[in-house]
Chains A and B, each alone.
Chain A
Amino acid sequence: MFESSPPSFGPPPYGFGRGPGSSFVDLLRRVAPENLPSAGLDSPATGAVEIVHGTTVLAVRYDGGVVMAGDRRATAGYTIANRRVEKVFAADDYSGVAIAGAAGPAVELVKLFQVQLEHYEKIEGEILSLEGKANQLGQLVRANLPAAMQGFVVVPLFAGYDDRRARGRVFSYDATGGKYEEADFQTNGSGGVHARNWIKAAWSEGMTRDDVVDLSLRALFAAADEDTATGGPDIVRGIFPTVAAISVSGFEAIPDDVIAARATALLGGREEGAGL
Chain B
Amino acid sequence: MPFYVPPEQLMKDRADYARKNIARGRDLIACSAAEGIVIVTENQFRTLYKISEIYDRIAFGGVGKYNEFEMLRVGGVRQADLKGYQFSREDVNARSLANAYGQTLGQVFTHEMKPYEVEILLAEVGVTPTDDKLYHITYDGTVMDEEGCTVLGGRAETLSEGLGTRFEQGMEADAAIRLCVELLAGPDGSLGPAQLEVAILDRSRPRRAFRRIEGPELAEILAATTSS
Is B222 in the interface zone, CB < 8 Å from A? no
Chain A, 1-42, CB within 8 A of any chain B CB: 2, 6-10, 13-16, 19, 24, 27-28, 31-32, 35
Please, how many angstroms separate the alpha-carbon atoms of A28 and B82 in the complex?
7
Binds A, one of B98-106, B153-161, B163-171, B182-190: B98-106
Known interface pairs A7-B100, A9-B104; A123-B71 also in contact (CB < 8 Å): no
With beta carbons under 8 angstroms apart, the residue of B71, B103, B107 that contacts A15 is B71
**In the bound complex, do residue B108 and residue A10 qualify as a contact, i.e. CB atoms below 8 Å apart?**
yes
**In the bound complex, do residue A123 and residue B74 qualify as a contact, i.e. CB atoms below 8 Å apart?**
yes
**In the bound complex, do residue B81 and residue A118 qualify as a contact, i.e. CB atoms below 8 Å apart?**
yes
20 contacts between A and B (CB under 8 A): A6-B100, A7-B100, A8-B107, A9-B72, A9-B74, A9-B75, A9-B100, A10-B75, A15-B74, A15-B75, A16-B71, A27-B81, A28-B85, A31-B82, A32-B82, A115-B84, A119-B81, A122-B77, A123-B74, A125-B49
**In the bound complex, do residue A6 and residue B103 qualify as a contact, i.e. CB atoms below 8 Å apart?**
yes
**In the bound complex, do residue B107 and residue A35 qualify as a contact, i.e. CB atoms below 8 Å apart?**
no
- Residues on the A chain within 8 Å of B93, using CB: none
Is B226 in the interface zone, CB < 8 Å from A? no
- State how many angstroms separate the Cβ of A223 from the closest Cβ of chain B: 32
Please, how many angstroms separate the alpha-carbon atoms of A9 and B68 in the complex?
10
Q: Which residues from chain A sit less than 8 Å from chain B, CB to CB?
A: 2, 6-10, 13-16, 19, 24, 27-28, 31-32, 35, 111-112, 115, 118-119, 122-123, 125
- State how many angstroms separate the Cβ of B90 from the closest Cβ of chain A: 14
- Residues on the B chain within 8 Å of A2, using CB: 83
Please, how many angstroms separate the alpha-carbon atoms of A24 and B76 in the complex?
13
Is B78 in the interface zone, CB < 8 Å from A? yes
User: Assuming A6-B100, A125-B49, what are 18 further A-B pairs, CB within 8 angstroms?
Assistant: A2-B83, A7-B99, A7-B103, A8-B104, A8-B107, A9-B72, A9-B75, A10-B71, A10-B107, A14-B78, A19-B78, A24-B85, A27-B82, A28-B82, A28-B85, A32-B86, A119-B78, A122-B52
Please, how many angstroms separate the alpha-carbon atoms of A9 and B71 in the complex?
7
